[in-house]
Amino acid sequence: MSRVLYEKDGRIGRITLNRPEAMNAIDDLLPVELADCVARANADPGVHVIILSGAGRAFSAGYDLAYYAQATGGAGHAATQDMPWDPMKDYAFMMRNTELFMSLWRSYRPVIAKVHGFAVAGGSDIALCCDMIVMEDEAEIGYMPVRVWGCPTTAMWVYRLGPERAKRMLFTGDRIKGPEAERIGLVLKSVPAEELDAEVERLAERMATVPVNQLMMQKLVVNQAIEAMGLKQTQMFATLFDGITRHSPEGINFKHRAEEVGWKQAVRERDLGTFDWTANRPINHTK
């Protein structure tokens, strides 16, 4: 089964993340198929706008931790190497995904992310590479792995939010819902769930009446302003640091904990702050 679906609907190219059984979690193949679909849309002169959405209950729940964190061999070693680890091997692995996500940013066709359920962890990387995000009110976005085992490799938080609000998100790993994401400028708009489809369609249809070359020029100008701020260099550091987070003592402890108790329990302890990853033991809140 294809992990990402593509169809052309008039002047709109529709890309759908298609691992609903895993809440569209990211494995090795999903980023490749995503970039392929973006390329298909860009190769079609009849496509003016792309809408990116997720099948099932969520946009994307991030990297598939059952595939990467809980595994004791095989795929798990792509995310956590045996020691001593090779930072450049890890960098090459993760920069591949960063560049594939950035196909959305580089797309000559504007991309609207339609977010429902969750766009969290690596799923937020995908959403934030799009040109605009429309969320449902109850959907959540955030990058929880900053608490341990991750650094957002696309580094889009600071460019969308500015330094202080980016730090607020990346120092806590909190998830926020659509209305707060709109209030702080992370997303274009938040709407009730029953209005999400119509809101995105109205925006896409309005943009689709503009000639392709005009849309392309405006996107290139705005993106160039961001890239002139050092986006590529920032992503290089972020992708390198992502590997360091996973191979730090705390990152290794998280991986071992996921192997021991399962990734759901390890993630719950990470997000609630009930585990001391440095000391590798639960936190005793009674002291």
DSSP states of 261-281 as a string? H-HHHHHHHHHHT-EETTTTE
Structure tokens that stand for 53 in this block: 């959405």
Write the burial class of residue 141 (CB in 10 Å: 0-12 exposed, 13-18 middle, 19+ buried).
Answer: buried
165-193 burial by CB neighbour count: b if 16+ within 10 A, else e? ebeebbeebbbbbbebbbebebbbbbbee
- Per mean pLDDT, which range of 58-72, 78-92, 210-224 is the poorest? 58-72
Residues 262-286: what's their mean pLDDT? 92
Q: What is the pLDDT of residue 1?
A: 86
Quote the mean pLDDT of the chain.
95
From residue 133, alpha-carbon distances to 122, 154, 248 in Å are 15, 16, 33
Nearest-10 crossing angle of helices 231-247, 212-227: 60
Residue 189: in which H helix or E strand, if any?
strand 189-191
Q: Is the pLDDT of residue 73 over 60?
A: no
Name the pLDDT band for 68 (thresholds 50, 70, 90).
confident
Name the pLDDT band for 70 (thresholds 50, 70, 90).
low
Residue 153 sits at the vertex; the CA angle it makes with 79 and 139, to the nearest 5 degrees, is 100
Residues 59-64: what's their mean pLDDT? 96
Q: What is the pLDDT of residue 59?
A: 98
Name the pLDDT band for 287 (thresholds 50, 70, 90).
low
Would you say how long the chain is, in residues? Answer: 287
pTM beyond cutoff 0.75:
yes
Q: What is the pLDDT of residue 250?
A: 97
More confident residue, 88 or 66: 88
All structural domains of the chain, each given as residue ranges with its CATH number in brackets, are 4-282 (3.90.226.10)
β-pairing verdict for 189-191 and 132-136 = parallel
Give residues with Cβ within 8 angstroms of 24, minimum separation 6.
17, 18, 30, 54, 55, 56, 58, 59, 60, 61, 123
Name the pLDDT band for 66 (thresholds 50, 70, 90).
confident
What does the pLDDT look like over 77-126, one tens digit per residue? 567 888 899 999 999 999 999 999 999 999 999 999 999 999 999 999 99
CA distance 149 to 52: 27
CA distance 111 to 260: 40
Name the pLDDT band for 153 (thresholds 50, 70, 90).
very high
